[in-house]
Amino acid sequence: MAWFSKKQPRISRPEEDEARPSRMQGLWVKCEECSEIIYRPEIEKNLNVCPNCGHHMPWPARARLAAVLDPDSFEELDRELEPQDPLGFMDSKRYRDRLKATRKNLDEADAFISGLGRIEGTQVSVGCFLFEFMGGSMGSVVGEKVTRVFERARERNLPAIIFSASGGARMQEGIFSLMQMAKTSAAIARFREVRKPYISVLLHPTTGGVAASFSWLGDVILAEPKALIGFAGPRVIEQTIRQKLPEGFQRSEFLLDHGMIDAIVPRKELRQKLGQLLGLLA
């Protein structure tokens, strides 16, 4: 009996090569707009904006708040609030399991961060969506946190700022999610009593129930370049009305041309623009 055997060399498949981790994985980023390969630390230093074409890539919520607010001024509140599973919802996976896995991966309780901070010395009640948490969908806890942003602003006589990036209402919570549209809008109506500004900053994408409620109710509505903003997506609209939509439909530039938003502000200029608005209105 032979003490050795000759094995044919194993030929790897392309899909296996793609799945195999690389030593360089995570060090480089490919721009979706111009396909330029960029060193990750360079693009992070540039606020996740492509230095070649100016394309605005996704930006983590906490990094955004750290860049926009005065250093060490952000005080996070309501972190103890966590969504439950009131309907016992299950599709391909149980909702409670999906929540548990997402919390573990992101170390975040839900799709919204809220608290108090300062911009050029002016204190504000502020909130920001985490799109990476289930598409930034709005459930009952997100709605409660958004409502508290306006309630705190009303109680303390402060301006309110919300950065929106969401796919809309969270289907796993059904009617409990849709109720948040009315709840947040009512909170804004009460906030109007103190006559302080609400600045709504629309990021890519802002759609569904979030776009159809508090995101469009700002005294000043700003948007990042080329952000997709609207209730239903272009594909859904085209399939419904059976017509081809205009080029750039529902993008920031289209909405600005049609008077739906007040200004498009590149990411690098946002802190300065917010400070200017607060100085004029707050």
Which residues make Cβ contacts (< 8 Å) with residue 235, sequence separation at least 6? none
pLDDT tens digits for range 57-71? 999 999 999 999 999
Q: E strands, 71-219, where?
A: 75-77, 112-119, 122-129, 160-166, 198-207
Give the per-residue pLDDT at 236.
Answer: 87
pLDDT one-digit tens code per residue, 259-269: 999 999 999 99
Distance of alpha carbon 202 from alpha carbon 254, whole angstroms: 14
Statement: residue 3 has pLDDT above 90: no
pLDDT (tens digit, 9 = 90+) per residue, 5-59? Answer: 454 555 545 444 444 444 445 799 999 999 999 999 999 999 999 999 999 999 9
Nearest to 201 by CA among 107, 5, 95, 67: 67
Range 242-248 average pLDDT:
90
163-174 pLDDT, tens digit each: 999 999 999 999
Banded model confidence at residue 234, pLDDT cuts 50, 70, 90? confident
Q: What is the spatial distance between Cα 200 and Cα 126, in angstroms, rounded to a whole number?
A: 10
Sign of the dihedral through C-alpha 93, 99, 104, 106: positive
* Domain spans, the chain: 27-57, 58-281
Q: Does domain 58-281 have CATH number 3.90.226.10?
A: yes
Residue 10 structure tokens: 């194993």
241: pLDDT strictly greater than 50: yes
Structure tokens at 164: 């929106």
